[in-house]
Amino acid sequence: MKAVKWFAPHDMRLVEVPKPAPKPHEALIRIESTGVCGSDMHYYTDGRIGKTIITEPLILGHEYAGIVESVGADANPALVGKRVAVEPGIPCLKCEHCLRGRYNVCTTLQFPGGPPYDGALAEYSAVHAAFCFPVPDAITAAEAAMIEPLAVALHTIELAHLMPGETVAILGLGPIGLLTAQVARLAGAGRILGTDLLGYRVDVAKRYGVDAAYNAQTIDSVETILRETNGRGVDLAIDCARSTLTPAIACRVARPAGRCILTGISGEEYGQFPVDIARRKELTITWCRRFRFNFQTAIDLVASGRIDVRSLITHSFPLEQSRDAFELVSRAGENVLKTSVDQ
Ligand SMILES: [Zn+2]
Ligand SMILES: [Zn+2]
């Protein structure tokens, strides 16, 4: 089958690889759509996220959907022929964390598109059938691939324990930030403030539930958010950026005894933290690691029209042009929000 492999920073090539055969518990997916994620950008441009380093050529991509072509002997045969959103990351399901339901932090979780596990920029993928979620007919393949980032946004707001009317700051208005704004709005947020370094993202943020968005290139995020909240700070500060600076900004804009949820991936092993401010304010700081048990809710919210993933998909490329898709996202060209690779 055809696949696209990463060989070196900015070097991805179409290659021929063996078509996978599903194991007894697996489904074979004919992949229709793979989203390009901000986390993919770290691998694409640097070959690493923190200490996780690509050492062999690797197929990237973890946000994907497709049609189940066949299933192994122990998998549900009713899946065959269905379009499914695939929850990436297969946990061991045996360790303490898995047994506690915290399977997203399983230490032996196999995540596609993260070394050494091949991802979804390919014609087929064999995956644990329990992690394939059928979507209604009205959901397109590219929308089904957006279930994965939406699941991240749902997990973010779940961890935040957002209460009706609470003020929220979202740092980073890419697809994850704009999905998080929509989920926060649905969950009853009060005023939502947002910041981003890209003017076009600031301009579209209102469509997704952000009340006031600011360009962090031209204003001071901390000053502005504190001023907009009369010096108090927000109840909930959420980092959805790809930056080492935003966790510190989240601490500065949260109110005393407020909460920070850190969802963005800086790509670095260490970051800066204003430990004195965080301590004096007695902040609750929570990291978000992907998602757990959020896929079905994400599908239901898209199917019922309560979350808009469609308008976030601004670009589409064929598999052969995957590198162009990654280049576009890496330089944030053409007002890109979400790019999908469609086949
Ligand atoms: Zn992702
Ligand atoms: Zn486990």
Q: What is the model's pLDDT at position 247?
A: 96
Q: How far does the centroid of ligand 1 lie from the alpha carbon of residue 290, in Å? A: 8
Q: How far does the centroid of ligand 2 lie from the alpha carbon of residue 111, in Å? A: 12
- DSSP E strand stretches across 197-241: 212-215, 234-239
Residue position matching structure tokens 């009205």 = 138
What is the chain's pLDDT, residue by residue, as a tens digit (343 residues)?
999 999 999 999 999 999 999 999 999 999 999 999 999 999 999 999 999 999 999 999 999 999 999 999 999 999 999 999 999 999 999 999 999 999 999 999 999 999 999 999 999 999 999 999 999 999 999 999 999 999 999 999 999 999 999 999 999 999 999 999 999 999 999 999 999 999 999 999 999 999 999 999 999 999 999 999 999 999 999 999 999 999 999 999 999 999 999 999 988 888 888 999 999 999 999 999 999 999 999 999 999 999 999 999 999 999 999 999 999 999 999 999 999 999 9
Instruction: Indicate which ligand has the atom closest to the C-alpha of 42.
Output: 1
Question: CA 70, CA 79: separation in Å to the nearest integer?
Answer: 8
Instruction: Indicate which ligand has the atom closest to the C-alpha of 93.
Output: 2
Q: What is the model's pLDDT at position 327?
A: 97
Query: Which tokens sit at 26?
Result: 């697996």
Q: How far does the centroid of ligand 1 lie from the alpha carbon of residue 37, in Å? A: 4
The phi-psi region of residue 41 (left if phi > 0; otherwise alpha if psi is between -120 and 50; otherwise beta) is alpha
Q: What is the CA radius of gyration of the chain?
A: 20
Q: How far does the centroid of ligand 2 lie from the alpha carbon of residue 300, in Å? A: 27
Q: How far does the centroid of ligand 2 lie from the alpha carbon of residue 52, in Å? A: 19
Question: CA 138, CA 126: separation in Å to the nearest integer?
Answer: 24
Question: CA 184, CA 174: separation in Å to the nearest integer?
Answer: 15
Asked if 87 contacts 131 with a C-beta cutoff of 8 angstroms, the reply is yes
Q: How far does the centroid of ligand 2 lie from the alpha carbon of residue 115, in Å? A: 18
Instruction: Indicate which ligand has the atom closest to the C-alpha of 41.
Output: 1
Q: How far does the centroid of ligand 2 lie from the alpha carbon of residue 92, in Å? A: 4
Q: What is the model's pLDDT at position 273?
A: 87
How far is the CA of 301 from the CAs of 62, 88, 306, in angstroms?
Answer: 21, 19, 5
Instruction: Indicate which ligand has the atom closest to the C-alpha of 147.
Output: 1
Which residues, including other chains, have CB under 8 Å from residue 254's CB and lie 6 or more apart?
169, 233, 234, 235, 236, 237, 260, 281, 283
Instruction: Indicate which ligand has the atom closest to the C-alpha of 38.
Output: 1
Question: CA 210, CA 180: separation in Å to the nearest integer?
Answer: 10
Q: Give this prediction's pTM.
A: 0.97
Domains detected in the chain? 2-146+309-342 (3.90.180.10), 152-287 (3.40.50.720)
Instruction: Indicate which ligand has the atom closest to the C-alpha of 91.
Output: 2
For residue 1, give the nearest of 140, 157, 126, 162 by alpha carbon.
126
